[in-house]
Structure 1
Amino acid sequence: METSLLICIIHKGEKLRMYCTDHSHLCCSKCVELNHRLCLQVTPLPQAATGKSTNFKNLSVSTENTLSQIKQCQTYQEDRMKSLKVSYKEHEGLIVDGLRVNIVSYLRECETSTVNTTHEHMQYPISEMREEIKYLLADFEKSTIKEKKEELNLKQAPLKVVRNSCIRLHYELFHLHVAIPKVLGKPELSFIASKKCLENIQQTDIFIKENFSNKVFTVNGKSVHNVKMPSDSCTCWIKAVCALPDGQVLVADLSNYKVKLLNQQYRVVSHLDVKPLDMCLITPTEVAVCMQDEVQFITVSQSQLAKSRKLELQHRCKGIAHHQGDLYICTGTALYKFTLSGKLVCRVYEDSSANLTVEKCAVSPTGDRLYIISRYQNKLLTLARDGTLLATYTDPALRVPSGLHVTPAGQVLVCEWGSNTVLQVGREGESKLATLATREDGVRRPWSVCYSSTTSSIIVGLYGDNNILVFRVE
């Protein structure tokens, strides 16, 4: 452990001997020769460590928080890779199954159209046709799977790079976290361990910000899609939207008491009769729908919806969000955290000063920030994991916020019923980064918003409108 602490992280074969105060940098002889010859305050490590004290308790807390964040980043990337794998496997199966159905249908037509008088003459050609089609199908299946695997590998590659960086950063910081208590009482080693630990925390923070950044979306196209079904008796009111990894989309239509599944062309292919107030993704093929005082789980398989288990609650359920096994539920004035099995963990936040102060919520990809919209207070609140209020965003343009979504990269989207706009807000929840769409773009009484990383699009659900809006973004 002592040996590893003394090794220079840049020049692996060299030992740390100096400390540059000008750059707050631990140095070996090569570091000094190459990068710190002109620095005025380069001192030997024993001298630099003399009389220096570090608040190791605070450092330990900061280290544990950073370790937790980087682990969540790693888990998030792994979940995305799993989602891609599941969606591609299902897509492959659908393509092959569709081809099988078409071929079987074609053969049946051939056999049916063959008249009895020519049956004997046609039997051999049909048998030959069967064999030929069987080989063609096998070749198609093989080539399709190969093609899809290559496509999957291409999409997973950048996720693996980020995942591997998370593993490396976590390992390095965890090693230092373990080392610090063991070198207390050894001034030089304690000094080195604390400085390396702070450097690693800084590197990790930069890494998280780069990969979960405030990159501003640019809209480069729009399409409109009708989601009303012939059996619908009312004009649609899309209270929530969920984008699935395979490109399909779920919409919660409160007016018609339905959750509808849309295919990649945004056409309704399946539905369930429920009374949805909000909805969130649990896995690539499962969503949770809040319905007054209960949560209904719905699964998606082979482009069909099916109800699964249900959670009964002791309070109202107006908004819902999920993050790595934690279920966040808004009651209208409070935010509660549950396990997926329905066990209450804690009350995270409460504001009973008015109605609908806690209507909808969303969670950052790393789980360190919670976002809440207060509809009639015209506010977006940002909370820490423990419910501490970090920021309150208000703006003349923020009128009656109704929809909230956080993208896989941590970008915060808010749609506003009062001003007919879709905004992008900074990750810190303190300022507006961009107005992405307005009334001129067809945004009239927006009630829900969602980003699909599969199609690089922002989907907006409207109140009293049979259409959803799909904005292509970069």
Structure 2
Amino acid sequence: MVTNAPIPPRRECGGLTRDWFKGPDIPRGVLSIETTCPDSWVAYEGSCYFFHHALQDFTEAQKHAVIGRNDVKNWKAVPEVVDTLNRCEMHAGEPLKLVCGDHDQLCCHLCVAVDHRQCSNIQHIPDVAKGIQRNIEFQQIPNKIVELQKQLENMKDARMQNSTTLKKTRDAISDEIKTIRQKINELLDNIEVTTLQDLDGMIAKLENSIKKDIETCDKITTELQNMIAVFQTKAKSSESKSYIAYRKSKDMISQANDHLHSISNIWCHNVIFQGNNLIEKLLLPIKTFGAIGKQTVMAISDPNHVFRIEEYNEYNVQISDNEYQCDIRGICEMPNEDLVIADFGNCKVKLLDKEYRVVDHRVVPGQPCDVYHIGGNEVVVCVNSEIYFIYVVKSQLVNSRELSFSHGCYAAAHHYGQLYVSSGNALYVYTMSGQKVKKLYEDKSGNDTVKKCAISNDGKKIFITNFNHH
């Protein structure tokens, strides 16, 4: 317990007393004040200190029973009623009466005593507040709050919509996973059917061989029985008949022995099966049907901003086996900053690294009109009336699957698990498995009225190019 704590001398600064709270050497920081007393005085190291208005300082008082931080709810406020606006957020029940100019912070007496003892620019709020109601910035506060509330409400709506679209995306990806599983099942079913066909063919072949052996045995047995009957009845009638029976019996016995020897070389027929463990070896390292990644779309402060070209460079993407000049109809960027381009003139899809060098290419069965990054390391390429799915794996283009349509495919876009495909004069929506959702837009006023397409980040706007109207 500290007693007779000395009161340091008061120092003046700009006509203001800055040592209002120079009681004991209270450590800086809110956590230094551990308790308070029932009279709302500051308790420190066992002593209570109250703010002496005449001395404008904390003065040690009589002993009080202190209330620790465990009973903060019992800490009392100052005698006057402190409304919510004037209440200090750091010290329950204390009114805000001062401003620290050094930290640009509203303070109560305890704030100054604990955190701002060394600050030189402490002022009373009434002095600082003079003329504030005529301040333009003060008058604009309500409008700013209303605008901010509107922005927060819009952000809340956007997040709720985002949550809804995430659920739809989950369903779309789930359908895509099930489609992959179905295709794998179909492949396995085909392998099973082929294997069973091989098995049935082998069984039928062996059964046919066994049937022939049985028929041979029956035939020879019948012939031998007939010969025995002839030998017993006619062979003894004359020596000539006996000789003929003897020779035929001998030949028949020789043939029977030959057949028996031939059949007995194969004791029995059996079928064995040796499973192909290559399938298991291929599937064992694969943990998922594909990579699940997060795609964060950054907000643009001005959605109507027009970008201006500051500078540009030219890069040669010709390769040795190109027959024609490159005609790039589509381009997209991968997450690692590699580029995938659609070379219409040479029927190729090319992969460029960060230095814009061609590191790989794939020949497609037609002239590619567009390429679009749909997520992760996967792109789609529009060729004639088909869309090809291609993965970019370790700087290589790997064919995945394809979808066929009843119309041409000039451009594609992807948004939350749905594929948007332009046919030249219409825009269609499909699932990632190729199931048609709907025809979204159509313009039959001419050719190429719906050529290229793009979707805004929030999905609220769809942009198309009309070559007839430029």
Q: Please tell me whether Structure 1 or Structure 2 has the larger radius of gyration of its CA atoms.
A: 2
Normalised by the shorter chain, which TM-score bucket?
Answer: 0.3 to 0.5
Q: TM (normalized to structure 1)?
A: 0.38
> Greater strand share, 1 or 2?
1
Q: TM (normalized to structure 2)?
A: 0.38
Tell me which of the two structures has the higher relative contact order, counting C-alpha pairs closer than 8 angstroms and 6 or more residues apart.
Answer: 1
